[in-house]
Amino acid sequence: MKEKKGIIFDMDGTVWDSSENVAKAWTVKVQEAGFDKSVTQDDIKSVMGKPMDVIADTLFTYTRKGKQRNALREACENYENDYLREHGGTLYPDVFETWEKLKKNGYHLYIVSNCQAGYIEAFLEYFKVPWGDPSCLIEDIECYGNNFLQKDENIKLMAERNKLTKACYVGDIQSDYDATVKAGLPFIHAKYGFGTINVPVPVIEKFSDLTDVVKEVLK
């Protein structure tokens, strides 16, 4: 079988930081729902990377669990996607330049996130990133909101679906590492992101370090 090396990326804290605009979008919907509350950027950063139902249970404790909380979560998710499609987020330095180099060096690039359906697409549309087939910069995407699978299952699914002979996951928080280990793949820590890892792992201090680090991880 011909060798096919893939790099699977987390989104928040790895590729970009959307927390400021997500907080703005969520605050709009929380207040439209009649709650005298706001969602801060720190609130969003504290739950980045978790499944959306867990985020809602953490941030919306003032709602009734069940229909009320679910309705607010869904309203926030949908408006967030629309808001980010228009306003974007803060891209980490050299992401696209590094992706282009990795693609040129023969790596296949993918995104797997715990986000809601449409979130990754909002990112790709805002930055006009081609995606969806082997000729594109990002070949395939998957998320919790599409299939309600946990991150380890989606990482494994991505590798299997694209018939990767070698693959790694790039993420920034402990749960990213835990999911990657469970999926049976090596992990690269985006140290500039939102979290720390409790064991020694390959590290990138900035996104552009990936071109060198991945050579060792997927050699």
Query: Does residue 97 share a domain with residue 67?
Result: no
Query: Does residue 12 share a domain with residue 47?
Result: no
Structure tokens at 167: 């693959």
* Dihedral, 138, 141, 169, 91 alpha carbons, nearest 10: 60
Count how many domains the chain has. 2
Final residue of a domain: which of 52, 87, 122? 87
Query: Does residue 121 share a domain with residue 192?
Result: yes
pLDDT tens readout for residues 101-140: 999 999 999 999 999 999 999 999 999 999 999 999 999 9
Query: Does residue 193 share a domain with residue 100?
Result: yes
Summary mean pLDDT of the chain = 96
pLDDT tens readout for residues 24-33: 999 999 999 9
Residue with tokens 């909101």: 145
pTM: 0.95
What is the CA 111 to chain-centroid distance, rounded?
7
pLDDT of the residue at 2: 87
Query: Does residue 184 share a domain with residue 137?
Result: yes
Which CATH number covers residue 126? 3.40.50.1000
pLDDT tens readout for residues 79-97: 999 999 999 999 999 999 9
Q: What distance separates the 2 farthest-apart alpha carbons in the chain?
A: 59
Query: Does residue 196 share a domain with residue 124?
Result: yes
Query: Does residue 180 share a domain with residue 138?
Result: yes
Query: Does residue 107 share a domain with residue 38?
Result: no
Query: Does residue 114 share a domain with residue 66?
Result: no
Q: Check: CB of residue 8 under 8 Å from CB of residue 179.
A: no
Q: Which domain holds residue 81?
A: 19-87
Final residue of a domain: which of 67, 87, 107? 87
Final residue of a domain: which of 54, 87, 120? 87
Residue 190's H or E segment, with its range, is: strand 187-190
Is a pLDDT exceeding 80 seen at residue 164? yes
Query: Does residue 30 share a domain with residue 116?
Result: no
**How far is Cα 124 from Cα 105, in angstroms, rounded to an integer?**
22
Report how far apart, in Å, the C-alpha atoms of 192 and of each of 12, 62, 98, 99 are: 11, 33, 16, 17
